[in-house]
Amino acid sequence: MKRKDNKSPKRVAICLEMEWGHKRHLETYAGIHEYADKAGWDCVITPSATRVPKPKSGVAPFHGILGRISEPLAQVALKHKIPTVNVWLNSPAKNVSSVLPDLETSGRMAAQHLVGRGFKRFGYMGFLREKDSRLAIQGFREILKPLGFRFTTYRFQRTALGGEALGWERFLEGLEKWVESLEAPTGILVSNDLYCRYLIETCRAKGLKVPQDVAIVGTSNEPAICASPYPTLTSIDLDFELIGFRAAAKLDEMMNKKDSPKTMEYSPPKGLIPRQSTDSHAAEDPVVAKALRFIAENGHERIQVNDVSAAVATTRRTLERKFRDSLGRTIAEEIARLRIVRAKRLMLETEESFKAMAIDLGFRNADHFCKVFSRVEGMTPSQYRKQRSKKTSTD
């Protein structure tokens, strides 16, 4: 089959089902175009991975294809020798090059985050018999098993929630039973940010508080879902823009070579973005757990150590001892720690002044905030904001 004149721009099809509006599709598209603009490609969006390009007049319609590659599309591309790169982790297509999110690393990130919050009981909520959940569980287990920690899982068919959600009642019934079986405090990794919201609603209905009883880490960092309502969601940003860029680079390599071996590459996550759904530290002692809950719910007010001891109906001396035994720090240090965690998040997500931030976080004033921040972090708030801003601009 003849191709178009190689002197003209390469014509590339992008198959991402953009109308769904998912971050993973939109950012992958942006990453592809970042590379395509530099390479001078002529890119065309196709509406669905199930739509197969039809050759006309003996000429291949595209020099290359990128996106969520279905098996029919992969077969047509192979038949007409059109280089193709897949970015769909659960694609059924065989014998196709792929650039995919590294879910195993995301599982490790989530486990390390929750272990660092003091949790000793864990859970995973995700899909049954699909590659993304299998890889995330592998990474999750890799961190927890050597520490002697086990985790329980709630697995379900992806099709139960797709389309008209015909499996919704069965899904919800299973979720309710699983939540009832959890022993607080538990840290949970969820395969999808939207499903975190289902989990939070079910926890609330069963009398469990997030993050005090159940801390939750989502996956994909979908901005609208993570940002509201309370609690905002801690989530892992899989960096789909980088996946799109790397997939385009791979396709460019394939289009410039007659023969290219089929490869599978895993692109690393950008990082874990902490928010309110993990704004807690687990404690086995029920008095300490109750105190931590009070601090989490009231830390934005100008609470003192005596307020905490009064809230849990024990003496300050007894509570201080329990804090040191359970957490290795004082009550005042925990109040400061939580405020600083929230301050760092505000500095990443807003341009709020330190004066306004100090009021929002429960500090006496901006000077008090800056002194506490510098003592805890070893740098001033201004230095932290500048450092993070510089890092974000180079990511």
Q: Can you give the pLDDT at residue 118?
A: 86
Domain count, the chain: 3
Residues 302 and 372 in one domain: yes
CB 133 within 8 A of CB 162: no
Torsion over CA: 284, 287, 293, 295 (sign): negative
Nearest-angstrom CA–CA distance, 13 and 15: 6
In a domain, 1, yes or no: no
Residues 124 and 229 in one domain: yes
DSSP-assigned beta bridge partners for residue 263: none
Residues 378 and 348 in one domain: yes
Helices 240-255 & 23-39 angle (0-180, nearest 10): 40
Q: Can you give the pLDDT at residue 65?
A: 93
Residues 52 and 110 in one domain: no
**Element at 273 (helix H, strand E):** strand 271-273
In a domain, 281, yes or no: no
DSSP-assigned beta bridge partners for residue 12: 43, 64
Nearest-angstrom CA–CA distance, 269 and 106: 7
In a domain, 5, yes or no: no
pTM of the predicted model, to two decimals?
0.80
Q: What angle do CA 197, 203, 206 make, to 5 degrees?
A: 145
Nearest-angstrom CA–CA distance, 217 and 277: 7
Local confidence pLDDT in tens for the 395 residues of the chain: 334 445 688 999 999 888 777 889 999 999 999 999 999 999 988 866 556 566 666 566 789 999 999 898 888 888 888 899 999 999 999 889 999 999 999 999 999 999 988 899 999 999 998 999 999 999 999 999 999 999 999 999 988 887 788 899 999 999 999 999 999 899 999 999 999 999 999 999 999 999 989 999 999 999 999 998 889 999 999 999 999 999 999 999 999 886 667 889 999 999 999 888 998 888 888 898 889 888 887 877 888 999 999 999 999 999 999 999 888 889 998 888 888 888 887 887 788 889 988 888 888 899 999 999 998 888 998 988 887 765 544 44
In a domain, 395, yes or no: no
At 93, which CATH number? Answer: 3.40.50.2300
Q: Can you give the pLDDT at residue 220?
A: 95
Residues 218 and 338 in one domain: no
Q: Can you give the pLDDT at residue 60?
A: 67
Parent domain of 354: 286-390
